[in-house]
Structure 1
Amino acid sequence: MSSSSNPHRDTPDDAPEVLHEDEVAEVVETQDADGDLVMDDGDDDNEELVLENDSIAYFDGHKDSVFCIAQHPLYPNLVATGGSEGDADDAPGKGYVLDTSVAASRPVLPPSYNSDPSSRPENTALQPLFAIDGHTDSINALAFTLPRGEFLVSGGMDGRLRVYAVSASSPSSVQFRFLAESRETEEVNWLAPCPSADYPNTIAFGASDGSVWVLTLDASDPSSPIQIVQTYYVHSTPCTAGAWSPDGLLLATVSEDSSLHVFDVWGAAAAQNLVTRNGQTVVSLTSADQRFEVEGGLYSVAVSPTGAFVAVGGAGGAIRIVGLPRLSQQSQQQQSRSRQQKSAAGSSSQAGAILAAISVQTDSVESLAFSPTAPLLAAGSVDGSIAVFDTARSFALRRHLRAAHDGEAVVKLEFVRAATGPAAGWLLTSCGLDGVVRRWDLRGATAGAAAGQAANAAAAGQAGGAGNLGLVKEWRGHRGGGEGGGVLGFVQGETGERVVTAGDDAVVLVFEA
């Protein structure tokens, strides 16, 4: 995880306008004047440390940090975790597949729990269904293929890509079988399954040498179960993140060299004469363009639900929004219906255009997430804050949760994709190195609305008042504090009813919403 800073620098006259914090309508504080989370006053003279654990189940079979986690697309109870077998530099990697459905729902706790924490029901200890092995170094990337989860893929710091065939007619009858291994690079940094049903069981990964690979998996061909679709060598330093467009036609990747490349994987853009001179990409931006340059590198990327634009984040809190071309009929229809079209809709003419340059947070932006239905982009930073931008209003800052994770790095953000009711599209889950998972309700756009909500909360006697405005739930159980602690990832399914975490403390926890 990067912690680089990016000092303010002048930009040329033709650079896009940079949005600064003093230009926005609302900043939501989750800290007091001293920069701490709002907490009740207490007597520090005889303070007793009480470890909280809100989980309903746990798995402690990992011997060291759990670096990654993945969830089956059809059977969300099936969760794969991966990490290291020890703290040595050459420690082998190890992973497990868990069935979280065996964890019973926790009953509503009686009021007596507040005075007697020992009355809390004991957690369920999960047992692994399958062990992921064969890596000689840490497993740092896992993914199930789409759309049916027919394969589980693990990527390691040893450069190995190991593929397991998954057969499951029901959540209780799943079987895993090792299929094949590929080793094309020194280190696999990330994995991303292609979402297109036209290209099933396709997966992309980025490597430490800057290369990007697209592979298709086929268990029916024993002579070649791993088939290389495309290989790209355009990044000059490690490729740090990648994301597919919703239609699965484009693949956007970023690198420590501050470059963004959006690849035309299947030739759809080439058929419409929308590729760049290299014939491989629809967008190629590097630090050579001072309007795009992010000193210190890029570390996160996300494509909007309409496929109209891509957001990249990097050192010093820098975020760039770049337009993408319309390729599929589906993306064109989505863009025409979207509120985003009013200010930043992608079109062929806007492909590669820098639509916004944003600088609100003070340290590297490590996670980006678009809401599936609301006009929102959320950014998580190493400075511990979450910034939320309105994509329908020129990416104006909607909220800045300054102490979202108590000054510790925000590791991952993800909207609850299938939430119902008034909060649909507005619920965001986050995790950080403070060891806490939190869920936020991001409704409310103006300072007046925020003040009204704070007044209502205070009148109702809710803890935290304005300090916790937007926070609807938090789960504790992992050790925090950065080194040797924190939450390194989570999965939450479509509905967000259960959250499963990967802990730097070598523990996997299951929380219930």
Structure 2
Amino acid sequence: MSGQHPQPDPMDEDRGEHSEDEFIDEADAEEVVQVDDDHPMEEDEELLLENDSSAHFDKHTDSIFCIAQHPIHPEIIITGSGDDTAYIFDSSQAASEKPLLPKSYETTPQQSKERESLPVIAHLDGHKDSVNAVCFTSPRGEYAVTAGLDGKLRAWRDTSGNLAGKSWQFLAESQEVEEINWIATCPSSGNEENEQTQNVVAVGANDGSVWVYRIDAREDSPEPLTIISTFFQHTASCTAGAWTPDGQLLATVSEEGSFYVYDVFGSAAAAGFTSSAGTQSVVALTVQDQRFAVEGGLYSVAISPSGTFAVVGGAEGHIKVVGLPRVSDTSSTKSKSKGKGASGPSGGAGAGTLLASLQAQSDGIESLSFSSPPLNLLAAGSVDGSIALFDVAHRFAVRRHIRGAHEESAVVKVEFVQCKTNASSAGTSPGRPWLLTSVGMDGVVRRWDTRGGTVAAGHGLLKEWRGHLGVSENEEGEQAGGILGFVQGDKEGGRIVTAGDDGVALVFEE
């Protein structure tokens, strides 16, 4: 890990009861774990025969590039593929037949029956190139949105009487760019005062532009798909974006190494934060600042649960931590936002400040995820096949570095099991915030226990699920296979649904 920038520790709100003078105990120092390729399997010789899935969806005819789940009915899944289409299906309808295995793996093929694919709820077409980003809108999943390499953004409306996600009708489309790289749903609580954040999505394009849309099919709406903001600061492809938990700020990164935070709804301006000189952003960091520069670009971004800082991941394992304006306390009503400044920590005194520079891994950071409170962990998945766990409450000390977490294959995504906010009381439900799920190009799903006391027993690896082909060479000599994404919001992470490069979505039950 590289030396951290010598700034005062700004994590007062994320560290809980820890003080700045507290040091890390010797026992808490970095743990480097080399995972055996065959662990925890007991019979190595049957490794290739395993299909641990309880159900599958195989209607796509090309790689599944993206996957998302419904915010109210998490069993409802949407997938987008290289076959230029998207599908919506119900992952809870597990088939009764035994898992389907390739015939060469069956000991008695004549006695085996093929398991039927999960049925299609909706077939979303209309794209002329790969669908590489999908989502449902927040807070009720009224709309499904697809985006593609054809530059089209297409929206479908849930026509189910109770918004059950079982019936969908095409609504509208927009095409403003050549290619769309990603979609990010704006978080929304559904409260009347936060109506401005409802059914809002942001997209990032290959030309570096960022577009924010509102989807509204009500009769009094002027347009069902309306552009509410556009940003043009990036000078190369915009690779990732993330909203703050309150849905007020949007953070984006680019392959030319820049990082911008946009005040989409004006809450930061109302709280006294001004835009960076010559930009439309309240935070702007580029490679011109040598402390922030990452040669090779930035490819991932995540926002802390408190919304007070962002982490961005880039080439060669570089991670940067940047302070954000704190506007959530001032955005609930317009009257409260007036007169609030940026003088204190809760007002964003560290906004735009480079708080830390980390480098525990050797290749690109593909995925970043924060644990739910009361844990203070950040997980980073790398192309080098490793997962690094950083302790946010102790100046981002490396708690564990799991080398070979996915053998020699790239880690595509890491995600903590999130605890749902309890609306009736402060805090969150107990849940299992220490559980971390990861997928890689080896085609394996792995579940980790990130609590330090469990490392001696199985290196924290609790379970793994197999069924995807993994990386292999096709007839053209190209590498194909692996898992390109997953969702795990159902049953507190008890059901995982994957997006396979082999064109199949698999359902794994804990």
The two structures have a TM-score, normalised by structure 2, of 0.82
Where 1:469 maps in the other structure, the secondary structure is helix
Q: Deviations over 1:302-345 (max 9, x none)?
A: 0000001000000000000001121121899xxxxxxxxxxx97
| 1:167 shift after superposition | 3.0
Alignment of 1:273-284 (within 5 A): 273-275=272-274, 276-278=276-278, 280-284=280-284
Give the 3 Å change call, closer, same or farther, for CA 49–37 of structure 1 in structure 2.
Answer: closer
User: In structure 1, what residue type is equivalent to 2:160?
Assistant: A
Cα distance in 2 for partners of 1:207, 1:331 equals: 28
Cα distance in 1 for partners of 2:306, 2:442 equals: 33
Where 2:81 maps in the other structure, the secondary structure is strand
Alignment of 1:424-439 (within 5 A): 424-439=432-447
Give the 3 Å change call, closer, same or farther, for CA 11–508 of structure 1 in structure 2.
Answer: closer
Structure 2 counterpart of 1:496: 493
Identity of aligned residues (%): 52
| 1:418 shift after superposition | 2.8
Give the 3 Å change call, closer, same or farther, for CA 372–345 of structure 1 in structure 2.
Answer: farther
Structure 2 counterpart of 1:475: 465
Cα distance in 2 for partners of 1:441, 1:52 equals: 23
Where 2:349 maps in the other structure, the secondary structure is helix
Where 1:329 maps in the other structure, the secondary structure is helix
> Do the aligned residues in 2 keep the contact of 1:247 with 1:330 (CA within 8 Å)?
no
Structure 2 counterpart of 1:417: 418
Which consecutive unaligned segments of at least 5 residues does structure 1 have? Answer: 1-7, 17-21, 86-92, 108-114, 333-343, 458-467
Structure 1 counterpart of 2:140: 148
> Do the aligned residues in 2 keep the contact of 1:37 with 1:406 (CA within 8 Å)?
no
| 1:430 shift after superposition | 0.8
Structure 2 counterpart of 1:51: 49
Structure 1 counterpart of 2:362: 362
Structure 2 counterpart of 1:246: 245
> Do the aligned residues in 2 keep the contact of 1:28 with 1:469 (CA within 8 Å)?
no
User: In structure 2, what residue type is equivalent to 1:371?
Assistant: S
Structure 1 counterpart of 2:79: 81
Cα distance in 2 for partners of 1:393, 1:212 equals: 34
Does 2:123 match 1:131?
Answer: yes
Cα distance in 2 for partners of 1:311, 1:117 equals: 51
Moved more, 274-283 or 358-367: 274-283
| 1:117 shift after superposition | 9.9
Structure 1 counterpart of 2:407: 406
> Do the aligned residues in 1 keep the contact of 2:364 with 2:382 (CA within 8 Å)?
yes
Moved more, 323-332 or 289-298: 323-332
Give the 3 Å change call, closer, same or farther, for CA 224–440 of structure 1 in structure 2.
Answer: same
Give the 3 Å change call, closer, same or farther, for CA 143–48 of structure 1 in structure 2.
Answer: closer
User: In structure 2, what residue type is equivalent to 1:490?
Assistant: F
> Do the aligned residues in 2 keep the contact of 1:377 with 1:390 (CA within 8 Å)?
yes
Cα distance in 1 for partners of 2:42, 2:30 equals: 27
Q: Deviations over 1:392-440 (max 9, x none)?
A: 0000001111111111111111111138998721111111100011111
> Do the aligned residues in 1 keep the contact of 2:327 with 2:347 (CA within 8 Å)?
no
Cα distance in 1 for partners of 2:460, 2:265 equals: 41
Moved more, 396-405 or 276-285: 276-285
Of 83, 95, 99, 2:90 maps to 99
Q: Deviations over 1:334-381 (max 9, x none)?
A: xxxxxxxxxx97752200111110011000001000112110100000
Does 2:180 match 1:188?
Answer: yes
User: In structure 2, what residue type is equivalent to 1:242?
Assistant: G
Of 24, 31, 38, 1:27 maps to 31
Q: Deviations over 1:187-240 (max 9, x none)?
A: 010000110231200000000000000110111257511111100000000000
Where 2:363 maps in the other structure, the secondary structure is coil
| 1:106 shift after superposition | 9.6
User: In structure 2, what residue type is equivalent to 1:139?
Assistant: V
Give the 3 Å change call, closer, same or farther, for CA 287–24 of structure 1 in structure 2.
Answer: farther
User: In structure 2, what residue type is equivalent to 1:59?
Assistant: F
> Do the aligned residues in 1 keep the contact of 2:3 with 2:358 (CA within 8 Å)?
no
Structure 1 counterpart of 2:481: 485
> Do the aligned residues in 2 keep the contact of 1:323 with 1:346 (CA within 8 Å)?
no
> Do the aligned residues in 2 keep the contact of 1:24 with 1:396 (CA within 8 Å)?
no
Cα distance in 1 for partners of 2:39, 2:361 equals: 20
Where 1:155 maps in the other structure, the secondary structure is strand
Alignment of 1:19-418 (within 5 A): 25-31=29-35, 36=37, 38=39, 50-85=48-83, 93-103=84-94, 123-169=115-161, 174-196=166-188, 197=190, 198=194, 199-221=197-219, 224-275=223-274, 276-278=276-278, 280-329=280-329, 347-373=347-373, 374-418=375-419
Give the 3 Å change call, closer, same or farther, for CA 220–15 of structure 1 in structure 2.
Answer: same
Structure 2 counterpart of 1:443: 451
Q: CA RMSD in A?
A: 3.2
User: In structure 2, what residue type is equivalent to 1:489?
Assistant: G
> Do the aligned residues in 2 keep the contact of 1:388 with 1:399 (CA within 8 Å)?
yes
Cα distance in 2 for partners of 1:249, 1:403 equals: 38
Where 1:392 maps in the other structure, the secondary structure is helix
> Do the aligned residues in 2 keep the contact of 1:15 with 1:291 (CA within 8 Å)?
no
> Do the aligned residues in 1 keep the contact of 2:315 with 2:365 (CA within 8 Å)?
yes
Cα distance in 2 for partners of 1:284, 1:412 equals: 26
User: In structure 2, what residue type is equivalent to 1:369?
Assistant: S
Cα distance in 2 for partners of 1:422, 1:11 equals: 33
| 1:512 shift after superposition | 0.3
Give the 3 Å change call, closer, same or farther, for CA 12–128 of structure 1 in structure 2.
Answer: closer
Does 2:500 match 1:511?
Answer: no
| 1:273 shift after superposition | 2.4
Cα distance in 2 for partners of 1:360, 1:255 equals: 21
Question: Which structure 1 residue ranges, 4+ long, deviate > 4 Å from structure 2?
Answer: 8-16, 36-43, 104-107, 115-124, 169-173, 344-347, 419-423
